[in-house]
Amino acid sequence: MHDLEQQILAIVSAKNYHPLKPKALARKLHHGGERYEHFKLVLKGLIKQGRLELGKGNAIRPAGQHGTVTGTFRKTSGGFGFVRPHPLDGKVGLDVHIPESAVGDASTGDTVLVKIRKASRRPERGPSGEIVSVIERVTRSFVGTYFERDGDGYVRVDGTVFSHSIYVGDPGAKGAKPDDKVVFEMIRFPSAEDRGEGVITEILGPRGKPGVDTLSIIRALGLPDEFPLDVLEEARHLAAGFDEHNLEGREDFTDWLTITIDPVDARDFDDAISLTVDPKSKHWQLGVHIADVGRFAPHGGALDHEARRRGTSVYLPQRVLPMFPEIISNGLASLQQGKVRFVKSALIDFTPTGQVADVRFANAAIKVRKRFAYEQVSLILDKDPGGPPPADFQRGEEILQLLRNVRDLALILKKRRQKRGALELMMPEGVLEYDDHGKVVGAHFSKHDISHQMIEECMLAANEAVADALDRKSLAFLRRIHPAPDPNKLKAFADFVHTLGYKIKRETDRFALQRILHQSANRPEVHAVHYSLLRSLKQATYSPEKDDHYALASQNYCHFTSPIRRYPDLTVHRLLDRVIKHGKAGSDFEELLILGEHCSKMERRAEMAERELVKHKLLVYMSERLGTEMETIITGVADYGFYSQAETIPVEGLVHISTLGDDFYRYDAATHSLIGQRTKRRYRLGDKVHVKVIRADLQRRQLDFRVVGKKK
């Protein structure tokens, strides 16, 4: 029943949906005839829940036009929350503010029905409402720290999902000991009147024990960390039958000069590149070779079913939860140095100025000549004078020239993207540093230098080439879409950067936005400006809907280059495979709508898991360094204080307004500032402040700072 609900909602929410009567909608979903009674039952349930409505002539349409909306709830540490409405006619409305008294027993991630109480007078702010009912729980399983009080057992849930601990019965249930991390199933969700009740289902181990933090995140987000036996058996069977010398139906590129460039700690290798320059025409001939995972994962098989369920690999600190078993992801499909591997190749001919002249695709076989890490390539090119390679360079003139050529082409392609208005946000990621025992001993921001740009531009070119080819054949495929931002949010961004001295005549002009990003790139407020624009943009998703990728300024874009770790890429590979073999293919738009929504959700879950675990490990690291002073940049301001990001280490902390004891501060939303009533001292987004670390709350995953000084 749940699958049919998702199918109905996906179609009704699509941009191109025209209201249909129940029988017509049932036929569209192949639920006519004997299956129609089941369809009516599900449809009535969705109408009763308030997720759909009967419109004129009994046509089915999305709910939301008459004072109610459905959406996803997220709760704040203050007890109140917000609901992000589900798409309506392809558009997502403003978040609905839910006061603490109107939350009921909803928790973060739940799908809820909201009644609108009051519309906002400001166009950039959403209305207020109350949760009428919880339509679907995101989970009933939670993770926390067990403790005992007055002869009863309780669990203090990780994060800020619940304000109070949850009662879990008699002490010592399932052998739990105080300070153990446990998993429990919620029997009764907490509300303003009720603490709630749960039952312990698994004991993960003592808090602080190595590996328990990772397992806690895995369980909290419901991440699959083991493969079913039938999946492993199918992988082993395919491995036993793999013959790298049987190239039937494939072009042989094994004598091409092909390399990989990846992070030094990469776990799988699914993309390789080759590049030549025609001596006469000076055309670039780029080959982007992507692991042919579809060769090892037949559609509808156990491997395919499990990969589809997972949607993506999850990359956690010091651990990977792969989409495919290791025998596939790190073995047969991984483009390892010196091994013959099967690929799908995008062969792109560029003019000397980087314009696409010709594209073709091939099922092929390659043998990677050399595996590079980003750091190696950067070091080689930084020291490269443009002449012959140094005597100690063991890779030869041929490979050195290849690296030079890829660098030169990448810079040309990047310049073309910038000319069409692509936005480049500087959002460096935190990289943890470990000792020999796996303990975090430091952290730094990742670099994004020429070596990263070389691969990035090649992959972008291949993704666009595939999307353009499938679009020209009028095929439905899973696009990577990034809708244009709401003009009101861009107006708020323009107002903010104006307070920092930047001028924008027309905030919807992408070239004006591009200029602001470029101008702020080397200034102290770079984080504030770039984060602020990021918050103004919509989230990129997977969908067969024909829409642009706003940030890349691309009309046709898809993900093709990482099928080992992303299921959407695998669907594109399969479609392209039929085009290569038969010149044509077919696809199901409605099925892709549902799949795109699922893959987008799995991607967000994976990103949250990585972000939360990195944050936790950094908090543990900082908890041993209380009193440390550091320079920070203010990255967020609210009425209760401000958040600031350290300049040299990827940690962010809260300076609560109560610690600013020299004055009474008021919040100015227009300038993103806290302003002292007497002293007129201002703490504004983008300002540099010197702070001291005063507290690391591991339970709530919160780092607290106190201001020591502020740069003028």
Partnered with residue 368 across adjacent β-strands are: 337
pLDDT at 285: 97
As a whole number of angstroms, the distance between CA 165 and CA 168 comes to 9
**Residue 239: Cβ-neighbour burial (10 angstroms; 0-12, 13-18, 19+):** middle
pLDDT of residue 628: 95
pLDDT the model gives residue 126? 73
Q: Is the dihedral of CA 388, 389, 394, 396 positive or negative?
A: negative
Distance CA 559, CA 465 (A): 11
What is the model's pLDDT at position 57? Answer: 74
pTM above 0.75, yes or no: yes
Per-residue confidence (pLDDT) for residue 710, from 0 to 100: 63
Q: Residue 500 has what pLDDT?
A: 83
Which structural domains are found in the chain, ordered by start? 2-62 (1.10.10.10), 68-136 (2.40.50.140), 141-220 (2.40.50), 229-477+555-610 (no CATH), 625-710 (2.40.50.140)
CA distances from 587 to 91, 303, 325, 476, 584 (A): 24, 21, 27, 6, 11
- Per the CB < 8 A criterion, the answer to whether 546 and 479 are in contact is yes
Position 42 scores a pLDDT of 86
Specify the pLDDT at position 122: 59
Check if the beta carbon of residue 626 is closer than 8 Å to that of residue 694: yes
Q: What is the DSSP string of 132-149?
A: EEEEE-S-SEEEEEEEEE
Residues 160, 161, 164, 170: what is their CA dihedral angle, to the nearest 10 degrees?
A: -120
The DSSP bridge partners found for residue 291 are: 343
Q: 185 by DSSP, 3-state: which?
A: strand
User: Which tokens hold the place of 468?
Assistant: 């353009």
- Ramachandran sector of residue 30 (left: φ over 0; alpha: ψ -120 to 50; beta: rest): left
Q: What is the pLDDT of residue 392?
A: 46
Contact 106, 79 (CB under 8 A): no
Amino acid at 365: A
Exposure class string for 189-212: b at 16+ Cβ within 10 A, else e: bbeeeeebebebeebbeebeeeee
Query: Which pLDDT value is given to residue 556?
Result: 96
Q: How far apart are CA 695 and CA 654, in angstroms?
A: 10
Q: What values do phi and psi take at 623, rounded to 5?
A: -65, -20
Average pLDDT per block of 10 residues along the chain, 712 residues long: 75 78 85 83 80 79 70 81 73 79 86 80 72 85 93 89 86 88 92 86 92 93 94 93 91 96 87 95 96 93 96 94 95 93 97 96 96 92 66 68 96 96 88 88 89 96 98 96 90 87 88 92 83 88 94 96 97 96 90 92 94 92 94 88 91 93 86 88 88 91 88 51
